[in-house]
Structure 1
Amino acid sequence: MPSFQRDYSWKEEHWEDLWLDLQDLTAKRSSQHYMGSLVLMQNENPEEYTIIDGQQRIATLSILILCVIFRLRELADSGVEPESNRERAALLRGSFIGAKQPGSLVEASKLTLNRNDDDFYQGTLVQLEKPASERSLGDSEKQLWGAFKYFTKRIAEEFSDYSGQKLAEWIDALVSVRLLFIQVVVEDDMGAYTVFETLNARGLELTASDLIKNYLMSLVSKKGKGDLEHVLKRWQRVTGQIGVRRLPEFLRHYFNSLYPFVRQERLFRRIREQVAFAENAMDLVRDLERASVCYRALGDAEDEFWLDFPGAAEQVRALVLFGVSQYKPLALAAFRKLSGDEA
């Protein structure tokens, strides 16, 4: 997964939906379940892909498989077909999670999460260990651990009367045959952005914004870890001001306040044209943070931002009432160019 992709964010409602779908699929022995599209970017190694869209689903399925492996080991440790269940656990791990390299004997994981989640995933979940302290986990780490606990409990309840063979056959059939994805492979991030804008599906607009973020952070990362952490914090403040759902619209309105009109489907191309170096990316994120304060206020006449602009709140209230947004690029340009009294 891209290093700067969104952290794992699925919650119990998402795990529950997936589990109910799997139960329904189990009851219908001949059916298959559509899991949506996977947008992948081919890496230099032809056997490796970067997951551009579908990270949350793939990470959750990986955790589900780890929970099955954990249950098989529990059965073996309790004396239930110990040799067979240990072998089943090893085969599932090799097929879906990772396998030891014959030379180094180091386990190579098939899945790498983002920079915030991968250490916990590899060091705790893949090793089937408990965290030293749940309270000390980060937000997304708590969600990853919550998913592991949720599916561990569900599997123990659902398969309490079955052997390890039944459990292993269940997960192998689900993952290998019965769960279906539409796989879209693109050559580069520009192709991925085009796919998102063409599909225009719910949730993909967020991935398009992630793609922009990944591009900017990849430029800044060349400057060093200190600069990268600083810019990441700025980006987090931008999303905190705007909200994740409104971020794509904000980015487009921001660029339209600076440059000739650009449509959403050409936004990524415009950004790549205008921002080619680390310094450009750092300047852009700095200005986005400043503009986000104004943009947030454009959607709320009660925002304290308007205390510095007497009379503006009533105008904003009317614009919000009528649900118009065409004026926002102009408002951002005015905020940038004019003094408080003139604006």
Structure 2
Amino acid sequence: MGIINSSFRTLSSYLQEDTYFIPEYQREYSWEENELEDLWIDLTQLYEGELRDHFLGQIVIHYNDEENKKYIIDGQQRTSTVAIFLSVLRKKFYDIHKSNGFEDAKIDGDDITTQYIGRITDRRDELKLVLGESDRRFFKDYIQKTDRVDEINQRKLSKSEKRIYDAFNYFSKRIDEYTEETNNVDKRYDILNNLFTTLVRNFKVMYVETDELNEAFIIFETLNARGKDLETSDLLKNNVLRVSGNKLPDVQSSWYKMLDNLGRIDATRFIRHYWNSNHKFVREKDLYKSIRNIIDSPKKSQELVENLEELSLTYSALDNPTEEIYFENELLNEKLKDLKLLGATTYYPIFLAMINENFKEEEVLEMLHMIEKLIVRNFVVAGRVSNKYETNFASLAYKISQHEYTTIDQIKDYLKHLIITNEEFKSSFKTFTVKKKGVVRYILRKLNSIDNIETDIKRDNNKIHIEHIMPQSPTDWHMSPEIHEQYLNRLGNLTLLGDEYNKECTNSTFDVKKDIYKQSNIDLTKDLMIYEEWNEYKIQDRQADLANKAMKIWKI
């Protein structure tokens, strides 16, 4: 395996042994408050005697014999954060020495510099940790130097530099809060010294060092594969980097551009939808194995990640249509918003396959119209399980990517054969119950538009509310609890009402509500004026009428 060193070590032993480098292909500093807080809580629990030791995690090192350098393959974020925390402690020690002449505090501050952070001057560079190019200068000036620059213009910082800045200030604030009740300088020093000692002596790491880069990646995967902390996307990243060879800088760059494009979207979900758009269907648990078996060369690695980068912008617009206006066709953007309200995602591989094969936006919109009908008819109304159709959608996407289906008519015909019959749809529509607010608003807006195409109901949930005609708390309504429970969320009992009227209705009787409904500009609500009373039979009648309208809207 090429392992030349492995052992459990204290942070003190690990940090003092050598100088460590962060490879350029590694991600920038990424820890935020949640991760910082976990470290702080672990430290204080150790300090207060609740725990004896804390396992910080594994450190996987690649020793590059040609350069005589040790590169951190796994453990970059943990190591960088510990360096930041030690820098905070060093500053606190020096502050005590400056304000009180406390010599022991200066000794501790000097020890942190020489043993754990490293000395740096204009003529000497003995740093223990060297970050990648993007963070190196700021980390050196703000974290590692003793004559650090405290006046920082935050607006000029990159995202990762801002996270480094925030991490330093987070730990500084935490330490101040932890010692704020201690006015005695000796006690304050003791707390700082004990925190320092606890960190470097009681935090343990599993240190593994190898002289082969590929083996370092394999070790990383093996160590993490049994744990729950490593995402599938992390394993995928390390596999494509491991086989990227001389393409590694380009592959690394494309991978992190993809992540930036995705923002908060789950990378594993995106990669799986992409993979299912041009390969045989796989479930998430088999995704890593499938990609690893196929992506086994620098060329394949680069092609995969570049395609992921390119499609990540499309995927972001697909998954966040209200935030990302990406397509030129306005109707396409609006249709994506509707599908988002319906909670639809299983069709994503079809969408990605069509975009990747350069179908026109108008053709993609035609596909979405058919998907919309399938989702409303099969899933929303008839209650079919959408997961069962996931393999069908992936199969269609594969046919598109393999050029078996090259026209929009072929795609529509495939989808049409998956849609339930008119008889089943109408029968299910007459009795179905719906609780998801986004789905309710979508269906009622569509039903309202069939007789009034010129008026589009606002999407703003703060302006337009879902109105239960028979109210959720029917204080003055004479009906059994069983009937109320059975019919409350039937579609026939639901309508839309503007904010200015919704508050007036609440739990009022039907006669009172009718006076409010007649003022509404929403036809679906004004139509309720024809009813003299409201009970389970009227709900059934109205829902049957709405079913006839639904047949016209979602017809095939």
The verdict on a shared fold, with TM-score over 0.5 as the criterion, is: yes
* Alignment equivalent of 1:109, drawn from 120, 124, 127: 127
* Alignment equivalent of 2:53, drawn from 32, 42, 46: 32
Q: Aligned-residue CA RMSD in angstroms?
A: 4.2
* Alignment equivalent of 2:299, drawn from 275, 285, 301: 275
Q: 1:294 to 1:98 in 2, by over 3 A?
A: same
Counterpart mapping for 1:68-83 below 5 A: 68-82=89-103
Aligned length: 325
Q: Any conservation in 2 of the 1:8–1:144 contact (CA below 8 Å)? A: yes
Q: Provide the C-alpha distance between the structure 1 equivalents of 2:298 and 2:338, rounded to a whole number of angstroms.
A: 34
Q: Provide the C-alpha distance between the structure 1 equivalents of 2:336 and 2:166, rounded to a whole number of angstroms.
A: 46
* Alignment equivalent of 2:136, drawn from 83, 101, 118: 118
* Alignment equivalent of 2:113, drawn from 71, 93, 96: 93
Q: 1:297 to 1:196 in 2, by over 3 A?
A: farther
Report the Cα offset of residue 321 of structure 1: 4.5
Corresponding residue for 1:15? 36
Residue 194 in structure 1 maps to residue 221 in structure 2: yes
Q: 1:85 to 1:47 in 2, by over 3 A?
A: farther
Report the Cα offset of residue 206 of structure 1: 4.8
Instruction: Tell me the secondary structure at the aligned position of residue 109 of structure 2.
Output: helix
Report the Cα offset of residue 67 of structure 1: 1.3
Corresponding residue for 2:354? 334
Corresponding residue for 2:25? 4
Greater RCO, 1 or 2 (C-alpha within 8 Å, sep 6+): 1
Corresponding residue for 1:133? 152
Q: Provide the C-alpha distance between the structure 1 equivalents of 2:337 and 2:51, rounded to a whole number of angstroms.
A: 57
Report the Cα offset of residue 191 of structure 1: 0.6
Corresponding residue for 2:513? none
Residue 180 in structure 1 maps to residue 204 in structure 2: yes
Letter in 1 for 2:153: E
Instruction: Tell me the secondary structure at the aligned position of residue 109 of structure 1.
Output: coil
Corresponding residue for 1:67? 88
Q: Provide the C-alpha distance between the structure 1 equivalents of 2:310 and 2:61, rounded to a whole number of angstroms.
A: 33
Q: Provide the C-alpha distance between the structure 2 equivalents of 1:100 and 1:240, rounded to a whole number of angstroms.
A: 33
Corresponding residue for 1:251? 271
Q: Which runs of 5+ in 1 are unaligned?
A: 222-227
Letter in 2 for 1:121: F
Report the Cα offset of residue 95 of structure 1: 2.5
Q: Provide the C-alpha distance between the structure 2 equivalents of 1:174 and 1:193, rounded to a whole number of angstroms.
A: 24
Corresponding residue for 1:219? 247
Q: Any conservation in 2 of the 1:71–1:156 contact (CA below 8 Å)? A: no
Q: 1:100 to 1:206 in 2, by over 3 A?
A: same
Corresponding residue for 1:264? 287
Letter in 1 for 2:287: Q
How many percent identity over aligned positions? 22
Q: Any conservation in 2 of the 1:190–1:269 contact (CA below 8 Å)? A: no
Larger radius of gyration: 2
Q: 1:272 to 1:244 in 2, by over 3 A?
A: farther
Q: Any conservation in 1 of the 2:46–2:198 contact (CA below 8 Å)? A: no
Report the Cα offset of residue 120 of structure 1: 1.0
Higher mean C-alpha displacement, 55-64 vs 37-46: 37-46
Q: Give a deviation string over 1:240-278, Cα, whole Å, max 9, x none.
A: 4433552233234434544566742232463342626xx
Report the Cα offset of residue 184 of structure 1: 5.7
Q: Any conservation in 1 of the 2:241–2:248 contact (CA below 8 Å)? A: no
Q: Provide the C-alpha distance between the structure 1 equivalents of 2:334 and 2:96, rounded to a whole number of angstroms.
A: 65
* Alignment equivalent of 2:193, drawn from 155, 168, 183: 168
Instruction: Tell me the secondary structure at the aligned position of residue 108 of structure 1.
Output: coil
Residue 292 in structure 1 maps to residue 312 in structure 2: yes
Q: Any conservation in 2 of the 1:301–1:314 contact (CA below 8 Å)? A: no
Q: Any conservation in 1 of the 2:259–2:267 contact (CA below 8 Å)? A: yes
Report the Cα offset of residue 210 of structure 1: 4.7
Q: Provide the C-alpha distance between the structure 2 equivalents of 1:219 and 1:150, rounded to a whole number of angstroms.
A: 38
Q: Provide the C-alpha distance between the structure 1 equivalents of 2:313 and 2:70, rounded to a whole number of angstroms.
A: 37
Report the Cα offset of residue 162 of structure 1: 4.6
Q: Provide the C-alpha distance between the structure 2 equivalents of 1:260 and 1:85, rounded to a whole number of angstroms.
A: 63
Q: Give a deviation string over 1:63-120, Cα, whole Å, max 9, x none.
A: 11111111222222234333x333322222232222579xx97232222223321211
Q: Give a deviation string over 1:178-228, Cα, whole Å, max 9, x none.
A: 22344566753541563377236235445335536756696264xxxxxx6
Q: 1:18 to 1:260 in 2, by over 3 A?
A: same
Instruction: Tell me the secondary structure at the aligned position of residue 117 of structure 1.
Output: helix
Corresponding residue for 2:171? 151
Q: 1:47 to 1:236 in 2, by over 3 A?
A: closer
Instruction: Tell me the secondary structure at the aligned position of residue 151 of structure 1.
Output: helix
Q: Provide the C-alpha distance between the structure 1 equivalents of 2:153 and 2:340, rounded to a whole number of angstroms.
A: 46
Q: Provide the C-alpha distance between the structure 1 equivalents of 2:24 and 2:343, rounded to a whole number of angstroms.
A: 40
Q: Provide the C-alpha distance between the structure 2 equivalents of 1:197 and 1:68, rounded to a whole number of angstroms.
A: 31
Report the Cα offset of residue 331 of structure 1: 3.8
Corresponding residue for 1:225? none
Letter in 2 for 1:137: L
Q: 1:209 to 1:167 in 2, by over 3 A?
A: same
Q: TM-score, normalised by structure 1?
A: 0.73
